[in-house]
Structure 1
Amino acid sequence: MQHRLSVRTALLLAVPPLLWAGNAVVGRALVGSVPPLTLNAMRWALAFLFLLPLGWRALSRPHEILARWKYLTVLGALGVGSYNALQYMAVQTSTPINVTLITASMPLWMLAVGFLFFKEPAHRRQLAGAGLSLAGVALVLSHGHPERLLALRLVPGDLLMLLAAALWAGYSWMLARPPASMQGEQRPQWNWAEFLLVQVVFGGAWAALAAGVEQVFLDPVPIVWSAGFIAGWFYVALAASIVAYWLWGVGVATVGPAIGAFFINLTPLFAALLSAALLAEPPRWYHAVAFALIAAGIVVTSRPARR
């Protein structure tokens, strides 16, 4: 059952966007130092080592995992194996601000996936909030000139992030609406670390496969080992993976993915601040207006309905 948005839950859902904004900025900063798919595989390999002391008990009961391998395979592919890989690929040709603003289309994907695959109807407030967020996306893609949308040509990174947003919507709905084997008494007694570790096992396998294809067929740049690279690697593995995924899972389970999606839209604000501070990529005026539209979408969607 979903509950009304409380201050505590709002704070829980606000932390992952900050950490994920840092993830986009770090990915941009490491362009040329590590191939994107290899970075994703390295990220989750290190996250696995961090999680292992906390979640090893889940691996000691392999029959519980094997009985749910279909669900876990898809969940790992969407949340660990594909979304982050696509984001690291996106920042090769786009900026962290643009990449994170494009994820503001997330509410639309959440509503579409919920309606098509989970029979969840969309309410007027959700549609209105999604419309405001979409207006913000259109503004940033047109660089503040809406008439340019008619002749808009997205860079590859923008298209990759649209795909990533759609896949993340599927991941969030699978967390909120799991199959019978993951509900009630049938659900294994996994705590957050154990469940995330299981996801990393399956998602990490997808990430490793993608990195192998990259190394063999795509002629990637070599890894440039440095203190900055190692610091960035530890950040994306610990903060942007373990901490962010844990808080996101708790928040989405409480209020549902439709409301949770609007908090992802805080990521562009944090990305703009971090990019200006660390990458010398200051935000433009249309970024501020786009964020205002996105914030309005959060307010409209999270307001309780009138009785």
Structure 2
Amino acid sequence: MVKLNARLVLLLTLPPLLWAGNAVVGRLMVGQVPPLALNAMRWVLASLLLLPLGWRAIATPAARAQIAQRWPELALLSFLGVGCYNSLQYLALTTSTPLNVTLIAASMPLWMMGIGAVFYQVRPRGREWLGAALSLGGVLVVLSRGSVAALARVHFVTGDLLMLLAVMSWAFYSWLLARPPKSMRGEARPGWNWAELLLVQTLFGSAFGATAASAEFALTGATVHWSPGVAVALLYVAVGPSVIAYRCWGQGVTLVGPAVAAFFSNLTPLFAAVLSAAMLGEAPQPYHGVAFALIVAGIAVSSRR
């Protein structure tokens, strides 16, 4: 594990900020764009944006043969991190409240550590458990707005289960980035740069997303209500939470490991609270500062060498 520095902190802080915006946009799109269609269009557009940067990964028969030889591993990676996680999150936002969704997402460090222990024999250290408790405490402060009574009023619905599945899929995705299969590490790994690897993921993810969206249209008859706002929203989710955030997260996870990176993901609900407050014209409250201090303390404790 590489020691945290300013560059790594930036790499791991940008994704939560962009993903917080994604959650706000996803909520705004309810009733305008069906959730599975939103996910499919997001990744098709992201693939088109990545094509000029990563075209070499699919440009020649030899390049496509490399993908064909590794398609099970690449398909699984894309299914978990591109297709499954994002579809489940958008579906969760249609029936669950932002409070419940972010509360469940705050369990990410625990899932990261649990999966690491069971499947990768990476035993969490005591300071990582302490960091998880501090970071989760910060998230609970945001979710409760400084009032414990608010947490007692939480009621779980179908969307909460979907978000739990989404968190589990993202935890597995992050571990696959940090501990790839033999065909994707060392000399066996294709000489792809970040854009080429992400393009391959988005192509597989677009296929999964298009299949799911087709089923959604067929079963529900839902339609997209196009408007300038919808177009801007699609551009944002394709560029920020997709290309930029996935680039930063992939590099950060590879350097510091999934367990430490997971603590940074707990910044997402804090950023979401600030963005929501800004959109509603409400000034940040003192509890935002308390939550930020707890989350940063969790990151610092868990990443100490």
TM-score (norm 1): 0.90
Q: Does 1:39 align with 2:41?
A: no
% same residue: 59
Gaps of 5+ in 1: none
- Helix, strand or coil at the partner of 1:92: helix
* CA–CA distance in structure 1, aligned partners of residues 86 and 278 of structure 2: 23
Q: Which moved more, 1:138-147 or 1:259-268?
A: 138-147
Amino acid at match of 1:154: F
CA displacement at 1:295 relative to structure 2 = 3.1
Alpha-carbon distance, 1:16 to partner: 0.9
Task: Report the aligned-residue RMSD.
Answer: 2.4
**Counterpart-to-counterpart distance in 2, 1:189 and 1:73:** 18
- Say whether the 8 Å CA contact 2:100–2:156 is kept in structure 1: no
Task: Determine helix, strand or coil for the equivalent of 2:107.
Answer: helix
Residues 49-73 of structure 1, C-alpha deviation per residue, up to 9 Å, x if partnerless? 1011111111131110111111111
Aligned residue pairs total 302
- Give ranges in structure 2 of 5+ residues lacking alignment: none
1:94, distance to aligned residue in structure 2 (A):
3.6
Question: Does the 8 A contact of 1:37 with 1:85 survive in 2?
Answer: yes
Matched-pair contact (CA < 8 Å) for 2:92–2:162: yes
Q: Residue 134 of structure 1: CA displacement?
A: 3.6
CA contact (8 A) 2:141 2:287 kept: yes
Comparing 230-239 with 286-295, greater Cα deviation is found at 286-295
Task: Check whether the contact 1:16–1:245 (CA below 8 A) recurs between aligned residues.
Answer: yes
Distance between the aligned counterparts of 2:64 and 2:49, measured in 1? 20
Deviation by residue 1:218-273 (Cα, 9 ceiling, x = unmatched) = 343x2111111000000000111001100111111111111111111111121111
Shift, 1:146, TM fit: 5.1
Match of 2:76 in 1: 74
Counterpart in 1 of 2:267?
A: 266
Residue deviations 1:91-113, cap 9 Å, x none? 22344465334322110010011
| More displaced stretch, 29-38 vs 145-154 | 145-154
Report the CA distance between 1:180 and its aligned residue: 1.3
CA shift for structure 1 position 119? 1.2
Task: Please state if 1:256 is matched with 2:257.
Answer: yes
Match of 1:128 in 2: 130
TM-aligned CA deviation for residue 190 of structure 1: 0.3
Q: Which residue of 2 aligns with 1:167?
A: 169
Structure 1 residue 115: deviation in Å?
Answer: 0.9
Range 204-213 or range 237-246, more displaced: 204-213
CA separation in 1, counterparts of 2:38 and 2:198? 19
- The range that moved more, 234-243 or 202-211, is 202-211
Equivalent residue number for residue 208 of structure 2? 206
Is 1:9 aligned with 2:11?
no
For residues 76-128 of structure 1, what are the alpha-carbon distances to aligned partners after superposition, in whole Å with 9 as ceiling and x for unaligned?
Answer: 01000011111111222344465334322110010011111111111111111
1:19: how far off?
0.8
Structure 2: distance between partners of 1:214 and 1:233: 18
Aligned 8 A contact 1:97 1:272 in 2: no
Q: Give, in whole Å, the separation in 1 of the partners of 2:282 and 2:169.
A: 28
Matched, 1:112 2:105: no
* TM-score, normalised with respect to structure 2: 0.90
